[in-house]
Amino acid sequence: MAVLDARDPLAVAVTGAIRTGDVQALQDLLDAHPGLASSGIGQDGEAAGTRSLLHIATDWPGHFPSGPEVIRVLVAAGADPDARFVGAHAETPLHWAASSDDVAALDALVAAGADIEADGAVIAYGTPLADARGFGQWRAARRLLEHGARTTLRDEAALGLLDRVRARVAAGPPGTDDLDAAFWSACHGGQLATARYLLERGAALDRVGYDEMTPLDIAVASGAEEVASWLRERGARAGAEL
């Protein structure tokens, strides 16, 4: 893969066309520079690494104008829907679309053949669904389910898929760490029925999870007031109290 410096005039021009949704300008650049669609753009300093043009199209905060059409034009010109970020992680463009809840870009990437089970997420090196769940991007998470994404116990708990949670537990009781993590995830997703079920199965009420947050902390941070009230009634504590 050819790599352009982010300060290169061509890199600046193609990034601008992608971010502003100027499809005609993007097509003109791709026509004038064969191989550009499969090139990467390298950046030093903060957020250092090499991004494909599809990563540029799905970078935070996502939801760029004409995003799906930009993705289709890039793929038609030779961009790889499963290109990897080169740097601190190995996420694909689909990971990035999931991380910013950009369902339109997500659909366009899946239609272009992106692998919904690709690993490399910053969340435990998992799939795009792991990113969507970890960052609380519930629309993207549910759309990945509609596209057939496989789920883990944590995914199922966070999304309130109680039938799947029950079936998984019935097939073989999860270990303590998995049970506690699933309970934390249910509180993150505001899934009261699932949280109640997992607590009855023996999950720890005050398990400390991501960013030193307890289930009560993450419920409050996620705006899951019903879950937060239920946790308080059972004596749950915030991390600062532990």
Beta bridge partners of 42: 5, 50
pLDDT of the residue at 201: 96
The maximal CA–CA distance of the chain, rounded, in angstroms, is 65
Determine the pLDDT at residue 133.
97
For 16-57, the pLDDT digits (tens) are: 999 999 999 999 999 999 999 999 999 998 889 999 999 999
Residue 199: is its pLDDT beyond 90? yes
Residue 151 has pLDDT above 90, yes or no: yes
Task: Read off the pLDDT of each residue in 139-165 and give the average, rounded to a whole number.
Answer: 98
pTM, two decimals, is: 0.95
**Distance of alpha carbon 216 from alpha carbon 189, whole angstroms:** 12
Q: List domains and CATH numbers for the chain.
A: 1-131 (1.25.40.20), 151-242 (1.25.40.20)
Is 52 in contact with 40 (CB distance < 8 Å)?
yes
Q: How confident is the model at residue 242 (pLDDT cuts 50, 70, 90)?
A: confident
| Rounded average pLDDT over 173-201 | 97
Q: Identify the band that residue 197 occupies on the pLDDT scale cut at 50, 70 and 90.
A: very high
Quick check: 1 pLDDT over 90? no
Mean pLDDT over each residue of the chain, to the nearest integer:
96
Tokens of 203: 């999950």
pLDDT for residue 62: 97
Q: Read off φ and ψ for residue 167, nearest 5 degrees.
A: -65, -40
Please indicate whether residue 94 or residue 211 has the higher confidence score (pLDDT): 94
- Mean pLDDT confidence for 121-142: 96
As a whole number, mean pLDDT of residues 229-236 equals 97
**Residue 112 reports pLDDT greater than 90:** yes
Q: What percent of the chain has pLDDT over 90?
A: 94
Over 90: is that where the pLDDT of 229 sits? yes
For residue 220, how many other CB atoms are within 10 A of its CB? 18
Mean pLDDT of the 65-74 span: 98
For residue 96, the model assigns a pLDDT of 98
State yes or no: pLDDT of 72 exceeds 90: yes
Helix or strand run (H / E) with residue 105: helix 103-111
Q: Residue 40 pairs with which residues in a beta bridge?
A: 3, 52
One-letter amino acid for residue 99 of the chain: S
What pLDDT shows up at residue 69?
98
**What does the pLDDT look like over 92-102, one tens digit per residue?**
999 999 999 99
Give the pLDDT band (50/70/90) at residue 80: very high
Length of the chain: 242
Give the per-residue pLDDT at 107.
98
